[in-house]
Chain A
Amino acid sequence: MERILFGDNQFFGVNHISDEKSRAQAIKFKEDAAILKVLDQSRDCGINTFMCTTHDRIANICNAIRSNPEKYKGYKIYPCMPYAHKYANAVTELGIMGAMKQYVPGNFFGSLLKGGVAFVSKDYISMMELMIDAEMKMFKGIDTPVIFLQNVITDLLIGLGMKDILKAFNDYIIKKYNAEPGFITMNLPKLVDMLESVGIENPIICTSINKDGFRMSGGKALYEQTLQTKKVRVIAMQVLAGGAISPKEAVDYVNSLPNIASILFGASSKNNIKEMVTLINTHELQPQFNSL
């Protein structure tokens, strides 16, 4: 994994601390060309990995990347699935069964229900695999070395104690996509324990790491302890705690911790991208990173 990853929240009006900013961003990035322009600016600054949700519009970005193979040579995408709001809104409107019927591809779900066939464990896992394949379609032909499970799903599975499903996601990503599985979470300590319990070693985990302890569930001290004692490859996100911390302070804090493989951030302007990249690059890597 590279030291710096570029995120996509700003492109889709995802802003955790202001609905107003979120609308302004949705307006700014209405056209795909505006997204591609900022991606190119991030590439100019040396960022060669784009970590993004499986939002419908990412399909257009993928088309642009595929149609310019020379320009995007060596460019990587880390998909994060699923784009949860698509499903959440469907569940509110259609109920769980209705949403499943809409999103599980083919007649798989319908025919099982119609036939009154009892589900066996294998069926649920195959259903999940079909959904992963559906989400991955848009990335065909693009280098996706790490594939992530979004935090809403990861955290839901943690709370429900469904460690076998985390394991099934992990194994399917390796088997089918020859990629590394990753997990996004707001609950790092709990996730590390759960992954350990199903034998997943040295996992890639993307989680909030910031000086303010914002969205570090269970507390900053517990996160620091986890980073110091467990074998994990952490991608730090929300390092600016939504803008509460200055970029310099933010990067200083993250760099003081072991086991941070990468920093993920998103920005809408070239200057902001440059500032973060310069700050991150002026710091020495902690020795733990060398093996990654």
Chain B
Amino acid sequence: MIKVALIGAGKMGISHLAILGAHSDVKVVGVTDTSKLVTDVLSKYGSFNCYSDYKKMLEAEKPEAVFVAAPTKYHTEIVSELLKRNIHVFVEKPFSLNTHEGKTLVQLAKEKKLINQVGYHNKFLGTFEEAKQLISEGFLGKIQHFTGEAYGPVVVKPKQDTWRSKPTEGGGCLMDYASHVIDLINYLIAPVENVHGSILKSFYSDTVEDAVYALLETSSKISGVLSVNWSDETYRKMSTSLTIIGTNGKIIVDATELKVFFKDNQCPTNYTKGWNIRHINELTQPVDFYLRGEEYSLQVDYFIKAVQGKVPNIINTFESALLTDMAIEQIKNFKNN
């Protein structure tokens, strides 16, 4: 059994906690949150050992691995403390608010040889995984252009503040929504290296952007458009998609569906010339415990297996998440210029 603790029991933290709670190789040894209401419920009904100070928890419970789902502005401080104590870390996305600090954390995790993972869960979705395979095996030919999109109904009218509405704390559509799309572009195509223009718009929020539009270029010199809006109530929940066109075909992929067009018969054996449609039900891996989507359980399971030494620590590493933070920084700076 791996001894695991959680720091930050908000929406993502509680979701991780439930998945960890149901995991047969995990013993949850402690939970830290600043809300008395939350820790009260977790200790009364869930019999978790709860703390308001994470350092006290680390001293008392000696976890081998910790999930960090505190607001982004605390990531650097907490993650660096964990690494110094030789604890494996899973941290929520985005990784860090400041790429300089992010680099330090990447370095520290490397030196300490600790397992490090960031919560970009889309990579554990069967549809995106299949798209990754098709692209990396060259079936699309030379990639010409991509469009990365995400839409959802988070802020659809003027509302009160939380940390998500404070740019200094990691709030806003760029950090929350666009980060997922950029991370997928980095993974499926190549890391975004240059930003040739960006527009950050506020529709309802006073202090942060509700939409992000940008012109991107990857390290492999492929151009693309980013279009993200979290104030779009025509979507029932967040929907993330990528359209990628190459010399041999085109892919349109989201969490539920993979649509692939091949120009000729030079395609994988289970595909044919023209349009092919595959759905998540045939592409997903089964899980032992399901909450909100297989990908959430799969990413947790992958991290636990990495700690156990059963899989390599190569998906969603701090290093890959830092590349996403760097693109975010460029989009932000371009706007400020």
> CA separation between A96 and B291, bound complex, in Å?
18
A16 adjacent to B280 (CB under 8 Å) = yes
Q: B267 on the interface (CB 8 Å rule)?
A: no
A contact residues around B155 at 8 Å (CB): 93
A contact residues around B18 at 8 Å (CB): 155-156, 158-160
Q: Of all chain B residues, which has the CB nearest A121? A: B44
Q: B21 on the interface (CB 8 Å rule)?
A: yes
Complex interface: stretch among A134-142, A161-169, A228-236, A251-259:
A161-169
> CA separation between A94 and B171, bound complex, in Å?
12
B45 adjacent to A159 (CB under 8 Å) = no
A contact residues around B241 at 8 Å (CB): 19
B40 adjacent to A88 (CB under 8 Å) = no
B236 adjacent to A161 (CB under 8 Å) = no
Q: Pick from A98, A156, A164 the residue with the most CB of B within 10 Å.
A: A156
A contact residues around B1 at 8 Å (CB): none
Which residues of B in the span 183-231 have a Cβ within 8 Å of any Cβ on A? none
Q: Pick from B11, B44, B290, B291 the residue with the most CB of A within 10 Å.
A: B290
B38 adjacent to A96 (CB under 8 Å) = yes
Q: A213 on the interface (CB 8 Å rule)?
A: yes
> CA separation between A132 and B290, bound complex, in Å?
24
Interface of A is mostly: helix
Q: Please give the number of chain A residues whose Cβ is less than 8 angstroms from any Cβ of chain B in the complex.
A: 52
Tell whether A124 pairs with B162 under 8 Å between CB atoms, given A161-B46, A241-B281, A242-B281.
no
Complex interface: stretch among B61-69, B254-262, B302-310:
B254-262
Q: Chain B, 274-310, contact with A by CB distance < 8 Å: what is the 0/1 string?
A: 0000011110101111111000000000000000000
A118 smallest CB distance to B (angstroms): 8
B278 smallest CB distance to A (angstroms): 10
Q: A59 on the interface (CB 8 Å rule)?
A: no
Q: Chain A, 55-92, contact with B by CB distance < 8 Å: what is the 0/1 string?
A: 00000000000000000000000000000010011011
A16 adjacent to B22 (CB under 8 Å) = no
A95 adjacent to B163 (CB under 8 Å) = yes
A contact residues around B41 at 8 Å (CB): 124
A14 adjacent to B236 (CB under 8 Å) = yes
Contact residue among A96, A121, A160, A190 (Cβ-Cβ distance under 8 Å from B17): A160
Contact residue among A88, A97, A121, A244 (Cβ-Cβ distance under 8 Å from B35): A97
Contact residue among A18, A22, A155, A213 (Cβ-Cβ distance under 8 Å from B291): A155
A95 adjacent to B281 (CB under 8 Å) = no
B contact residues around A158 at 8 Å (CB): 18, 22, 289
Tell whether A165 pairs with B279 under 8 Å between CB atoms, given A156-B291, A160-B18, A217-B289.
no
> CA separation between A155 and B17, bound complex, in Å?
12
Q: B141 on the interface (CB 8 Å rule)?
A: no
A97 adjacent to B46 (CB under 8 Å) = no
B133 smallest CB distance to A (angstroms): 19
Which residues of B in the span 1-37 have a Cβ within 8 Å of any Cβ on A? 10-11, 14-15, 17-22, 35, 37
Q: Chain B, 43-56, contact with A by CB distance < 8 Å: what is the 0/1 string?
A: 01111100000000
> CA separation between A93 and B44, bound complex, in Å?
27
Q: B239 on the interface (CB 8 Å rule)?
A: yes
Tell whether A89 pairs with B37 under 8 Å between CB atoms, given A98-B162, A160-B42, A219-B286.
no
> CA separation between A241 and B290, bound complex, in Å?
16
A12 smallest CB distance to B (angstroms): 7
Q: B269 on the interface (CB 8 Å rule)?
A: no
B contact residues around A93 at 8 Å (CB): 154-155, 159, 162, 164
Q: Of all chain B residues, which has the CB nearest A99? A: B11
> CA separation between A93 and B21, bound complex, in Å?
26
Q: Of all chain A residues, which has the CB nearest B45? A: A162
Q: A1 on the interface (CB 8 Å rule)?
A: no
A contact residues around B167 at 8 Å (CB): none
A22 adjacent to B236 (CB under 8 Å) = yes
Q: A105 on the interface (CB 8 Å rule)?
A: no
B280 adjacent to A94 (CB under 8 Å) = no
Q: A218 on the interface (CB 8 Å rule)?
A: yes
B21 adjacent to A160 (CB under 8 Å) = yes
Q: A274 on the interface (CB 8 Å rule)?
A: no
A contact residues around B38 at 8 Å (CB): 96
B contact residues around A12 at 8 Å (CB): 236
Contact residue among A18, A119, A160 (Cβ-Cβ distance under 8 Å from B37): A119
Q: B153 on the interface (CB 8 Å rule)?
A: yes
B178 smallest CB distance to A (angstroms): 15
B290 adjacent to A160 (CB under 8 Å) = no
A contact residues around B20 at 8 Å (CB): 159
B164 adjacent to A92 (CB under 8 Å) = yes
Q: A212 on the interface (CB 8 Å rule)?
A: yes
B143 smallest CB distance to A (angstroms): 23
A132 smallest CB distance to B (angstroms): 17
Q: Chain A, 12-40, contact with B by CB distance < 8 Å: what is the 0/1 string?
A: 11111111101100100000000000000
B279 adjacent to A244 (CB under 8 Å) = yes
B272 smallest CB distance to A (angstroms): 19
A residues engaging B (CB < 8 A)?
12-20, 22-23, 26, 85, 88-89, 91-98, 100, 119, 121, 124, 152, 155-156, 158-162, 164-165, 186-187, 190, 212-219, 241-244
6 contacts between A and B (CB under 8 A): A26-B236, A85-B236, A93-B154, A94-B162, A98-B160, A152-B292
